[in-house]
Amino acid sequence: MGRIVLGMSVSLDGIAGSSNLDVPGESMAVHEAVLGWQFPLRSWQERQGMSGGEDTEESRLWAEDFSRWGAQVVGRRMFDFGNPHWGENPPFRVPVVVNTHRPEAPMEKLGGTTYIFVTGGIEESVRRARELAGDRDVLIAGGVQLARQALEAGLVDELSLHVAHVVLGHGERFFDAVATPLRLRPIRTVAGAGATHLSYDVLR
CATH (domain of 188): 3.40.430.10
- What residue numbers bound the domain in which 51 lies? 4-203
Mean pLDDT over each residue of the chain, to the nearest integer:
93
Taking a C-beta distance cutoff of 8 angstroms, is the pair 93, 69 a contact?
no
Report whether pLDDT(27) > 90: no
pLDDT in tens, 116-169: 999 999 999 999 999 999 999 999 998 999 999 999 999 999 999 999 999 999
Spatial separation of the C-alpha atoms in residues 6 and 59, rounded to whole Å: 20
**Counted domains in the chain:** 1
Q: What is the pLDDT of residue 24?
A: 56
pTM exceeding 0.85: yes
